[in-house]
Amino acid sequence: MVFLTQLLRDVRQTMFRGTEQHAIPPLDGAFSPNDRLDTCLPIGDPLLYPDDVVEGGDGALYVSVGPQVLRLAGDGYVERSVFARFDHDAGGLAVHPDGRLLVCVAGRGLVAVDTAGRQTWLNQAEDRPLRCLTSAAVAADGAIFVSEGSSRYEPDNWCRDLMEKSRSGRLVVCGPGLDAAKVLLRGLSYPYGLAVSADRRYLWFTESWAHRVSRAEIDGQAIATPNPVVGNLPGYPARLGRAIDGFWLSLFAVRTHLIEFVLREDDYRYEMMRTIPPSLWIAPTLAASGHVLEPMQSGSVKALGIHKPWAPPRSYGLVARIDDGGEAQESLHSRVGGAYHGITAACETAQGLVIVSKGTGRLLLRKSGAQT
């Protein structure tokens, strides 16, 4: 069995050279490493695993943190209050044109919360529960698109979904009243981020395990066949946030040759998953733990007790601005040993760019006009 697996792998690499997962592009050009994320201003005290952020019509920020959504207001967003609470963790957020806040809730589905606190729920699509919603976006006519990363696991089990090389994600649309839900796409490689283009013609979405960003033309509550816009990214894409001239693309981790190697070696990978705790897998992570048994402890990642910024990353911080054609224009990094890893969302606001570092539990502010 092992011989057959290796033979098939060698045949694929010979006949389809450059198409395997290990063909990782270098971090250069607009993706060149820097320390810009580490120079951003932290907003308030640390939070326990913040996940997404949007700006409301009132100019306040809404942030999903565990089983609640916080409202942040004031200069520098220092004023905090609880906007909504749920029984399960809140994730992706979006603001509907009618003022409702759309919240993806793990294991439950999508909820719309109005200004009076009333809730309307969407729990399933085509007789299957929505357990792993990751993002939501609203079309010009008020229709709501949502991405379901996995049909197997809830969001906090994303690493197992990757290690099993699952392609069970779905793209779903429903009416403004969270009714008449239907599935538009199936078999996606963990769709994580959704956004509607500035001209309202296209729906953009990311697929984390395929390392790509695609877009499809919107036709009412349907979409045309999607086309890849950005392919073979150097990391695992998370959410898309609208920018003035394109999108802010968050990448929650970068790819490494070691992880790509493990993803090709099925027998090794399944034995690792069976015998080792998930926190110690050779897999991407939102933040390195520093545990003595953590992978790559013997990989010369430190010199004189300091993490080398060019060392193979266990975790990383990266957000990039792409234009309407998918070309990267600039990026902000927090390299190995940096302070802010596991970037899951970014949002342009009146006060500047707000970035979510889920790995280190911080909200960051890059003020408008800041030179970094």
Burial string for 299-315 (b: 16+ CB within 10 Å, else e) reads eebeeeeebeeebbbbb
Spell out the domain ranges in the chain. 24-288+311-367
pLDDT classification of 18: cutoffs 50, 70, 90: very low
Cα–Cα distance measured from residue 298 to residue 183, given in angstroms and rounded to the nearest whole number? 46
pLDDT, position 368:
76
Q: Is the pLDDT of residue 19 over 80?
A: no
**pLDDT tens for residues 344-356?**
999 999 999 999 9
Q: Is the pLDDT of residue 291 over 80?
A: no
Q: Which of 18-22, 27-31, 132-136, 316-320 has the lowest mean pLDDT?
A: 18-22
Q: Which of 294-298, 306-310, 335-339 has the lowest mean pLDDT?
A: 294-298
The predicted model gives 214-237 an average pLDDT of 96
The predicted model gives 108-115 an average pLDDT of 96
Residues of the chain with pLDDT > 90, as a percent, come to 83
Cα–Cα distance measured from residue 198 to residue 87, given in angstroms and rounded to the nearest whole number? 34
Structure tokens at 233: 């990214």
Other CB atoms within a 10 A radius of the CB of residue 31 amount to: 20
Cα–Cα distance measured from residue 339 to residue 200, given in angstroms and rounded to the nearest whole number? 36
Structure tokens at 69: 């959504």
Homologous superfamily of 24-288+311-367: TolB, C-terminal domain (2.120.10.30)
Q: Which of 3-12, 26-35, 206-215 has the lowest mean pLDDT?
A: 3-12
pLDDT classification of 9: cutoffs 50, 70, 90: low
Q: Is the pLDDT of residue 255 over 90?
A: yes
Cα–Cα distance measured from residue 272 to residue 31, given in angstroms and rounded to the nearest whole number? 32
Q: Is the pLDDT of residue 372 over 70?
A: no
Q: What is the mean pLDDT of the chain?
A: 91
The pTM for the full model equals 0.91
The predicted model gives 89-108 an average pLDDT of 97
pLDDT classification of 314: cutoffs 50, 70, 90: confident
Q: Is the pLDDT of residue 247 over 70?
A: yes
pLDDT, position 12:
58
pLDDT, position 296:
61
pLDDT classification of 7: cutoffs 50, 70, 90: low
Cα–Cα distance measured from residue 8 to residue 19, given in angstroms and rounded to the nearest whole number? 14
Residues of the chain with pLDDT > 70, as a percent, come to 88
The predicted model gives 197-205 an average pLDDT of 96
**pLDDT tens for residues 80-91?**
999 999 999 999
Q: Which of 150-159, 294-303, 316-325 has the lowest mean pLDDT?
A: 294-303
Length of the chain: 372
The predicted model gives 107-129 an average pLDDT of 95
Please choose, from the candidates 56, 54, 66, the residue with its C-alpha nearest in 3D space to the C-alpha of residue 135: 54
Other CB atoms within a 10 A radius of the CB of residue 140 amount to: 11
